[in-house]
Amino acid sequence: MTFTLPLPSPLKRLIAYYHDGEYFRLLARFALPIALQYLLSSSLNMAAVMMIGQLGETAVAAVGLANQIWFLMNLVVFGVVSGAAMFVAQLWGKKDIPGIRRVLGLTVKLGLGVALFFWFLATFYPASILRLYTTDPAVIEQGGRYLRIVAWSYGLYALSAAYYAALRATGNVRLPLIVSSATLSLNVGLAYPLIFGLERLGLPAMGINGAALATLIARLLECFTVLALVYRNRSVPAAASLRDLIEVDLRFMSTVLKPILPVIANETLWSLGITTYNAIYGRIGTQAVAAINIIGAIEQMAFVLFFGLGQATAILIGHQIGAGELEKAYRYGGRSLGLQGSGALLMGGLAWLFAGSIFQVYKVSPEVIASAQSLLTVMALGFWVKACNHVIIIGILRSGGDTRFSLILDGLVIWLVGVPAAAAGAFLFHLPVQWVYALTLSEEVVKFTAGLWRYFSKRWINDLTQNIVRVDVHPETVHPA
């Protein structure tokens, strides 16, 4: 005779809530390739930062601050492509291929417009931009040289990002993984000889200019490769025609842009807030900037799985809303939020225990290492709330078309809470960088509280595709995801 201990009722409900093989199968199908791509990207970015770290803390700070304009451009482009991905995922739920291609065409035009604006700033006013972040003349001079080279990659990146977003939203996560991983590997492979030189081949050491040139070459090959692979098979949903790419249909644009513009505004305001944080760190000192950049690379690595889960959740929810399965979309969002929060708590602890071992690789001062160690503790403590906010804003609210609330939650809270707190800490109370960094987490707590309430309200669930105006409805051959 055997005896089994009865499970507590809350545990039974939790097990029943997660007892869904279809959810986990689809989540793994989308999340793992996206996470792997982000892992490779983060690993290679860390490798690049470590190579630049061999040039000293001034070089680390120069590249870190120069990349703030890349950061701004990247997030505005992300706003464009992720906003469009809301439509694409829901249209894929309806198998509306012509609609997907028209949305992609609009995404390409918007993304290239954003890239052109930031290219102009980086090419003609690099020193003026860098003076917003630092007063160190050596950092401004080195960062300006880096910007003038890397700015030519902005348009290439925006074009690739538009096609990647459309591919992922239609379930094709493998092609972006393969292409971006190969080109990022090429970037790092080129960076070492271009930064440090190869005397035997007569290749001079170019320093941080070599890092910028390696990025440009890799982005060029990435863009060419993804376009060649997409258009090799015209039945791929992302194979938009020339007409789709250049047409200007004001009625269609108005319908699509109405929910996308809040996403663009959201990413613009949020990215300006983050770059304001970096300007505050820059005013604390060059050593503070170097320490922040070291911790940023570690945080990227730790966030890999949670980025993939958030992006996969957005795809799953979009598909379910497009197919009319609204209750299933709600359950999928809740399950992902629970997984994200619990997993991030564990990852934060692991990062705190083990990530500090890489600090000695950097050729920076002991003061920078000490600041980085303190920053690591703060990062680990706040990691779970950042991960939860990612899945709430990107995976749930935005994929459900709730872009206006997301704008308030993500784009305005940073300015109403986070930036004032960080500025007061740095300039009023003259706190060290780790405490200023800790004050930025105040916005994350506010966002989590309001975002959780919004999820439970179900008011974020909207079918965006109902009002899309079609001009061509001829049947298309669907490429299997």
Tell me, yes or no, whether 342 lies in a domain: yes
Residues 6+ apart with CB under 8 A from 334: 17, 455
The answer to the question of residue 460 being in a domain is yes
Residue 14 lies in a domain: no
Q: φ, ψ for residue 202 (rounded to 5)?
A: 75, 20
Q: For the chain, state the CA radius of gyration.
A: 23
Length of the chain: 481
Residue 470 has pLDDT above 70, yes or no: no
Which of 95-109, 196-210, 341-355 has the weakest average pLDDT?
Answer: 196-210
Distance CA 343, CA 44 (A): 23
- Distances from the Cα of 150 to the Cαs of 48, 81, 130, 145, 236, in angstroms? 14, 21, 15, 9, 31
List pLDDT tens digits, range 400-425: 989 899 999 999 999 999 999 999 99
pTM: 0.75
- Residue 4 pLDDT level (bands cut at 50, 70, 90): low
Count each helix (H run) and each strand (E run) in the chain, helices first. Answer: 19, 0
pLDDT at residue 31 above 80?
Answer: yes
For residues 49-57, give the mean pLDDT: 76
Domain assignment present for residue 470? The answer is no
288 in a structural domain:
yes
Closest to 293 (Cα-Cα) out of 359, 357, 345:
359
Asked whether the predicted pLDDT for residue 264 surpasses 70, the reply is yes
Residues 129 and 143: their CA atoms lie apart, in Å, by 10
Selected residue with higher pLDDT from 348 and 355: 348
Q: Rounded to whole angstroms, what are the CA distances from 128 to 122, 133, 141, 297, 423?
A: 9, 10, 11, 26, 21
Is the predicted pLDDT of residue 477 greater than 70, yes or no? Answer: no
8 Å CB contact between 419 and 276: yes
Q: How far is CA 283 from CA 49, 130, 142, 326, in A?
A: 21, 12, 18, 48
Per residue in 278-313, pLDDT tens? 889 988 988 888 888 888 878 888 888 898 899 899
DSSP 3-state of 109 = helix
Tell me what the mean pLDDT of segment 228-238 comes to. 86
3 state DSSP class of 198 = strand
Number of compact structural domains in the chain:
1
Q: Which of 38-52, 241-255, 348-362, 406-420 has the highest mean pLDDT?
A: 406-420
The 10s digit of each residue's pLDDT in 132-145 is 888 888 888 988 99
Please check whether residue 13 lies inside any domain of the structure. Answer: no
Owning domain of residue 438: 21-464
Q: Tell whether 25 is covered by a domain.
A: yes
Window from 104-118, 186-200, 317-331, 391-405 with minimum mean pLDDT = 186-200
Contact status, residue 184 vs residue 172, Cβ threshold 8 Å: no
Q: What is the mean pLDDT of residues 382-402?
A: 93
In a domain, 408, yes or no: yes
CA–CA separation, 268 and 61 (whole Å): 23
Lowest mean pLDDT among 41-50, 168-177, 224-233, 425-434: 41-50
pLDDT of 309 reads 92
